[in-house]
Structure 1
Amino acid sequence: MILSNDSSPGTLTGARVGTPSRVRQDCAGLDDTPASQLDREKLLQHLGRDALHGSISRDFQSAYRVVVDEETGKKRSVPRLYRTDSEKLGRCEYVMLTNKQYSAVMVIDVDQPGESGGHPVHLNAYVKSVIFALVQRGIGPAWAGINPLSGKAQFIWLIDPVYTGKNKHSSNMELLKATSQELGALLAHDPHFAHRFSRSPFYTGKSVEAYRWYHQHDRVIRLQDFLRQVREMAGHPQYGKNMRQQFSSGRELINAVKARREEAQAFKALAEDVENEIGAGLDQYDPELIDGVRVLWISQGCAARDETAFRHALKTGHRLRAAGQRLTDAAIIDAYEHAYNIAQHVGAAGRRSEMPPMRDRQTMARRVRGYVTQSRNNAYSGSHAPRKTSSSERKALATMGRKGGQKAAQRWKTDPQGEYAQRQIQKLEKTHRLKKAQGRSTKSRISQMVNDQYVQTGTLPSWLEIEKEIGVSRATVARHVAALKKSGDYPEL
């Protein structure tokens, strides 16, 4: 793309032989020479396709034909394919250069209007500045297509072909998707562009809205390096692979996990102490709180007074428990009344105060105390997110409890009549008796429901209705229904 002595748009001669030392910025550094038939043949060769799915117009339904499956007799739509060596492909103004399983190019649709004319100089000013920066870095588009009426454009980059199986995940396809999103956002692209049908660089018709295509180079980009440079231009952070810690032995891994656990427990204790000491004081600096109360709203200007008061009382109860203080009725009721009055003040919406009577407030305090004392999770204390481990690391960590299991199995074998084995047998027998009783109860409830509906309506409930009514799984329903039919206790229509 070295500028010759002639400054006309068509005199950029070095676009296809190297990185430019001096280019025309008003043309975004692009070669203004229309693509030739040889350029199009090179693009087809890179695509590696014998036929392409094309559409003659924007009526994309006409790009499919309906056929009848000989085996099933059902109708289905199949794409209209055009051989790459046929003249019919030139009639298609739109073509599908990529699909979900294969892609050899990256197409970006820039929906930013420029000026009429159809040359690079007529592109949108912002788009020209970005394309010029890409060209200066040696990663400019291989093809540029420009709408002669609106100045909108589509750009094509050649990439190493990426594949994925049907309904399968492909890391290369994910990389292509990420690169297209980053580059498209940098170029202020059309976010609704489906990357399926795009303007065809092989169109030879006479439509006034047909894009004019300009071939720039035949370089094939490496997606990972290209994505890194695009992110540098956009000022976005780079995302590298997560470096996993390597351990020389399972024992070293176990010791490391124990150390992390102790650090996490110490951090959690420290966070809980800080929360207990200054948690209530920090509420006054929270812009979403009003005098320490988070007001819930039914609609604009109308507060949910009862729910606001109850949630604040529950929050207060959790904090009292974390601080080791008593959950007295007075403390919980005071928190409830404070929150109710705040909600009434800021969101009464013309309603009178309807504070529940003291008897109901005392009942509420008992409910809050029950919720707090029975809760296993403390929603108002600090948390420390666990670190992920690999499959091999999880297997190594399994040895932490494996020795105990081996010892227990050894006791079963060497001393089946001993105290340990007999104690475990008693536990199992108790569990089995409980499970049998639960099974008989469920079977009886299903039988009762089926017989009641049969007597009242003369119909039998479906398995889905039994699942919802009894609250059991489909497998449980199937098992008990089969047993009832076998015993003759299941009615028949």
Structure 2
Amino acid sequence: MSLPSKGRSSTPTGVRVPQPLPTYRDTGGLDDTPAGFTDRDALIDHLGRKAIHGSKDRDFGKAYYRHEDGTLRPRLYRVDSEALARCQYVMLTTQQYAAVLVVDIDQPGQSGGHPADLSPEVRQRMSALIEHNLGPSWVGINPQNGKAQAIWLIDPVYADKSGKSRHMSLLAATSRALGELLDHDPNFSHRFSRSPFYDGNDPTAYRWYCQHKRVRRLADLLKEIRTMTGQEQYTKPRQQFSSGRELINAVKTRREEAQAFKALAQDVETELSTELDQYDPELIDGVRVLWISQGRAARDETAFRYALKTCHRLRAAGERMTDAAIIDAYEHAYNVAQRHGGDGRDSEMPPMRDRQTMARRVRGYVTQSKTDMGTSASPGRATSTERKALATMGRRGGKKAAERWKDRDSDYAQSELKKLEHTHRVNKARGISTKSRISQMVNDQYLQTGTIPSWREIADDLGLSRATVARHVAVLKKSGEYPEF
């Protein structure tokens, strides 16, 4: 038997050698194909920018240069330049413009830089997002520790020079919802992020994978995320008053509540001194218990006053007014009042949801104080629609409007009269057109079938209300243009 020749297989012809089966790696539904030049060009086109602020490393001070007037200016790189490809960090969003949403995933996984190296929790949540068609457009993975950054393409949002707008607030809310789902880094500034355009040879650079190129609308994205996670959806407040008088009465009630709370807050001010507490004989375990009658305590009011007092002290000490601290104070005071003044009643501690609402209200009262020690804003606020209605219906608003209309020859009066005249002409033309359509429909059916349609048939066919049909039919009958049997 001859030895196999060099460089040839020693396996006899026709003998099949079993090959190892490929091992399955869970990627959480993410595509493991590295991003290419076409993917990067598509991302640049979506950003819609000719130059991007970049930094070659984490020394972000070098990403700025000092201008002749002493101000710092960002170093911008053209999107088609090789210099941008050497930057490991870029600023994909600015304070005035954002076309992407970036989430920094701070949960470590394994080394390797592939989607399968993400932590199991992150992969599971990514899979849930992808199942609901909410997966990110880009995913970048740290090859050393498995941390990642995810990018969603969104319809561009804008803001003024201050960086504030309703759309930017919506972007922040969506980023927060996605970040909380993916265990994000809460300290991520959403400014410099890892660059998906880097093509250098740094072994620590993020590995980027393009998943899709769908552009999402922010409002829809946030709504679907909240639906997926079972969170409460935002609903636009609607007008809740049926008349102007009802609105005015509601505002008067709010004012009375605010005045009552102001008196309560001023009363609490006298109790804020910690040094005097130890000499106060009415305090029980540090809590001033309010009594309804002998042996029967006002538990809710006692607990609320003590929580408000605690919140004032936290603010004066420069400490955080957290929900937990306020709720703990409320529970402590409630239990003290129950223990010494329960009068045979069972404990009726409000549920945690109500206690959290109470904590937010107390914090709002303290932070919106107009004085140094605790007078506060009203517990209820009017919406913008209500404020506009009150401005019109209020005594001052009526006086101001009357003053403007005194001089009928003034520019304001003439301008408003022209608008009113134009509105009347439009409404008159609309009424004539509607009356003609009704007359045409009735006459056509009468000629074709010898019958007259009912008011309901006219309303359904022409898209009108029954009252509108009745009004125009009455005019047509009076003029003799309506056929009669």
Which band: TM-score by shorter chain?
0.5 to 0.7
Instruction: Provide the C-alpha distance between the structure 1 equivalents of 2:241 and 2:273, rounded to a whole number of angstroms.
Output: 49
Q: 2:67 maps to which residue?
A: 67
Show the counterpart of 1:237.
Answer: 232
SS at match of 2:219: helix
Checking the alignment, whether the CA contact within 8 Å between 1:296 and 1:307 is kept in structure 2 is no
Give 1:310 deviation, angstroms: 8.3
Contact 2:283 2:289 (C-alpha < 8 Å) held by counterparts: no
Question: Runs of 5+ in structure 1 lacking a partner?
Answer: 1-6, 10-23, 70-74, 272-293, 321-341, 343-378, 407-493
- CA–CA distance in 2 between the matches of 1:401 and 1:317? 43
Structure 1 residue corresponding to 2:112, chosen from 111, 114, 117: 117
Cα 1:68–1:27 change in 2 (3 A) is same
Tell me the distance in 1 between the aligned counterparts of 2:97 and 2:283. 57
Change (3 A) 1:33 1:304: same
Q: What does 1:195-274 align with in structure 2 at a 5 Å threshold?
A: 195-245=190-240, 247=242, 252-255=243-246, 257-258=248-249
Question: CA contact under 8 A between 1:254 and 1:396: conserved in structure 2?
Answer: no
3-state SS of 1:53 partner: strand
> What corresponds to 1:58 in structure 2?
58
- Provide closer, same or farther for how the CA distance between residues 218 and 400 of structure 1 changes in structure 2, counting only shifts above 3 A: same
Cα distance in 2 for residues equivalent to 1:210 and 1:262: 61
- Give the C-alpha shift of residue 64 in structure 1: 0.9
Residue 52 of structure 1 contacts residue 83 of structure 1 at CA under 8 Å; is this kept in 2?
Answer: yes
Aligned to 2:386: 390
In structure 1, the partner of 2:30 is: 30
Q: State yes or no: 1:173 paired with 2:164.
A: no
**CA distance 1:262–1:198, change in 2 (3 Å):** closer
1:48 is aligned to: 48
- Partners of 1:262 and 1:52 in 2: CA distance: 54
Letter in 2 for 1:88: A
Question: How many percent of aligned residue pairs carry the same amino acid?
Answer: 46
SS of structure 1 residue aligned to 2:26: helix
Q: Distance in 2 between matches of 1:31 and 1:194?
A: 27
The normalised TM-score by structure 1 is: 0.52
Contact 2:100 / 2:154 at 8 angstroms: preserved in 1? yes
- 2:139 aligns to what SS in structure 1? strand
Q: 1:232: how far off?
A: 2.3
Per-residue deviation at 1:196? 0.5
- Once the two structures are superposed, residues 190-213 of structure 1 have per-residue CA deviations (whole angstroms, 9 ceiling, x without a partner) of 001000010000001111110000
Separation (CA, whole Å) in 1 of partners of 2:272 and 2:193: 51
Question: Is residue 183 from structure 1 mapped to residue 178 from structure 2 by the alignment?
Answer: yes
Distance in 2, Cα, partners of 1:310 & 1:84: 69
> Structure 2 counterpart of 1:253, which letter?
G
- The 5 A counterparts of 1:5-24 are none
SS of aligned partner of 2:67 = strand
Query: Contact 2:392 / 2:398 at 8 angstroms: preserved in 1?
Result: no
Amino acid at match of 2:244: L
Quote the Cα distance in structure 2 between the aligned partners of 1:225 and 1:202: 28
SS of residue matched to 2:95? coil
- The 8 Å contact of residues 254 and 397 in structure 1, kept in 2 or not, is answered as no
Matched-pair contact (CA < 8 Å) for 2:391–2:397: no
Residue in 2 that maps onto 1:101? 96
Q: Which moved more, 1:111-120 or 1:161-170?
A: 161-170
CA deviations on 1:358-388 (whole Å, 9 max, x unpaired) are xxxxxxxxxxxxxxxxxxxxx9xxx984654
Match of residue 158, structure 2, among 163, 179, 182: 163
Counterpart of 1:68 in 2: which secondary structure?
Answer: coil
- Match 1:152 to one of 147, 155, 162: 147
Deviations 1:121-170 (A, max 9, x none): 11011111111100011110000000111000000000011011101531
2: CA distance, partners of 1:56 / 1:384: 51
Q: 2:126 is matched with which residue: 122, 131, 142?
A: 131
Change (3 A) 1:61 1:307: farther
Q: CA RMSD in A?
A: 4.0
Separation in structure 1 between the aligned mates of residue 105 and residue 76 of structure 2, nearest angstrom: 27
Gaps of 5+ in 2: 1-20, 261-270, 294-335, 337-373, 403-485
CA deviations on 1:106-132 (whole Å, 9 max, x unpaired) are 000001100111110110111111111
| Cα 1:25/1:307, change in 2 over 3 Å | farther
Q: Structure 2 CA distance, aligned partners of 1:316 and 1:60?
A: 57
Task: State how far apart, in whole Å, the 2-side matches of 1:92 and 1:218 are.
Answer: 23
TM-score (norm 2): 0.53
**Distance in 2 between the 1:37 and 1:116 partners?**
25
Q: What is the SS of the residue equivalent to 2:279? A: helix
Aligned residues of 2:109 and 2:146 also touching (Cα < 8 A): yes
